[in-house]
């Protein structure tokens, strides 16, 4: 009797999760050396892993013809598939650890600093009530950092502003926050009782929230010729309260300052009153949408935003 013919293995059988992890790290960080730092390896190990991957798949993943190594079109497609694969592997790991330890869900949540801080307390209370054994971590960040942290799998889900977008992440609108130009009551601009000309604003120092390093977002809504840059909204608010300059701040953050008269809202000729209303959205990998806690967030966070005065706004009819 003739033995059955053995089916040839696919080239993909030689691709390991480590290959995929390294590939995605190179894409996220922008270079072999940066990926090596992220992974805690030497650069030669990353280069060898990527050479091995190209050998296994039998096509060029990287274009090495220029001074800087870039992805080929096939390489970019492989990265996109790799991100989806890692999301599923991460979910499988989480489930395995949860089931083996007899624990309930865990959640790492990244929240844009424009989201009202008292909303985080309400959200945490509701999560504790709905998921009594939840292991929760909440990180606050700004600008494009939210989506970057989720893409790197440092967090599961984010409540992000308009820059919290990234290829491969799902986005669900939940509300909006208005940024308003303000200055301390003793600042020269606070004394102007009309629309303030742009040349007048440009002569005053503007306090700007600014990212730094690789992948930093471009400046947003800068009018002044002189800028002082800070890395968080709390410092920005304190600088403006101290009379060091003017700047845009989330309305919920300065609501009490305005009511007390410590800050004054500025009317600028350059912008309409609703110029900088920033959308808020839940962002997360599509692979985790079926998790009960993600479904709960999608259902509950819009109502929470509405209760905080930063809910979804109806389009004018």
pLDDT for the residue 183: 97
Topology (CATH level 3) of domain 90-174+280-307: D-Maltodextrin-Binding Protein; domain 2 (3.40.190)
Per-residue pLDDT of the chain (317 residues; tens, 9 = 90+): 455 554 545 666 788 889 999 999 999 888 899 999 989 999 999 999 999 999 888 899 998 888 888 899 999 999 988 988 887 787 677 667 656 654 557 899 999 989 998 899 999 999 988 888 788 999 888 767 888 888 888 889 999 888 656 667 889 999 999 999 999 999 999 999 899 999 999 999 999 987 654 344 566 788 998 999 998 899 999 999 999 999 999 999 999 999 999 999 999 999 998 889 999 999 998 888 888 889 899 999 999 999 988 888 765 54
User: Which residue pairs from 267-271 have beta carbons closer than 8 angstroms and sit at least 24 positions apart in sequence?
Assistant: 267/194, 267/195, 267/196, 268/181, 268/195, 268/196, 268/198, 268/201, 268/223, 269/195, 269/196, 269/197, 269/198, 270/198, 270/201, 270/223, 271/181, 271/221
Residues in the chain, how many?
317
For the chain, what are the domain ranges?
A: 14-86, 90-174+280-307, 177-212+220-277
Pair of tokens at residue 107: 């959640």
pLDDT for the residue 10: 63
User: Could you say which of 1.10.3720.10, 3.40.190.290, 3.40.640.10, 3.30.70.100 is the CATH number of the domain covering 177-212+220-277?
Assistant: 3.40.190.290
DSSP three-state, residue 229: strand
The CATH class, in words, for 14-86 is: mainly alpha
pLDDT for the residue 247: 95
DSSP state of 225: S
Secondary structure element (H or E) that encloses residue 183, with its range: strand 170-184
pLDDT for the residue 253: 93
pLDDT for the residue 287: 85
Pair of tokens at residue 246: 């003017």
pLDDT for the residue 215: 44
pLDDT for the residue 317: 46
Common-topology check for domains 90-174+280-307 and 177-212+220-277: yes
Which of these, 116, 111, 244, lies nearest to 182 by C-alpha position?
A: 244
């Amino acid at each position: 009797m003739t033995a059955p013919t053995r089916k040839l293995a696919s080239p993909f059988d030689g691709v390991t999760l480590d290959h995929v992890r390294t590939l995605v790290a190179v894409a996220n960080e922008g270079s072999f050396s940066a990926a090596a730092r992220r992974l805690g390896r030497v650069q030669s190990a990353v280069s060898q892993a990527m050479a091995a991957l190209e050998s296994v798949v039998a096509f060029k993943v990287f274009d090495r013809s220029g001074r800087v190594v870039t992805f080929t079109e096939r390489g970019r497609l492989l990265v996109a598939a790799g991100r989806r694969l890692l999301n599923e592997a991460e979910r499988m790991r989480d489930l395995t650890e949860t089931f083996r330890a007899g624990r309930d869900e865990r959640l790492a949540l990244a929240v844009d600093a424009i989201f009202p801080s008292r909303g985080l307390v309400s959200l945490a209370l509701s999560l504790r009530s709905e998921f009594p054994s939840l292991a929760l971590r909440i990180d606050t960040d700004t600008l494009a950092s939210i989506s970057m942290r989720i893409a790197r799998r440092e967090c599961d889900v984010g409540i992000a502003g308009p820059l919290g977008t990234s290829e491969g992440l799902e986005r669900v609108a939940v509300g909006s926050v208005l940024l308003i130009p303000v200055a301390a009551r003793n600042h020269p601009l606070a004394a102007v009782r009309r629309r303030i000309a742009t040349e007048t604003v440009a002569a005053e120092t503007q306090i700007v929230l600014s990212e730094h390093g690789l992948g930093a977002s471009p400046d947003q809504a800068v009018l002044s010729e002189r800028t002082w840059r800070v890395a968080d909204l709390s410092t920005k608010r304190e600088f403006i309260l101290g009379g060091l300059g003017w700047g845009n701040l989330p309305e919920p953050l300065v609501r009490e300052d305005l009511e007390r008269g410590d800050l004054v809202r500025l009317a600028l000729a350059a912008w309409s009153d609703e110029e900088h209303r920033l959308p808020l959205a839940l962002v997360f990998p599509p692979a985790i949408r079926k998790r009960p806690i993600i479904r709960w967030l999608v259902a509950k966070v819009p109502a929470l935003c509405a209760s905080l005065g930063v809910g979804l706004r109806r389009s004018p009819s």
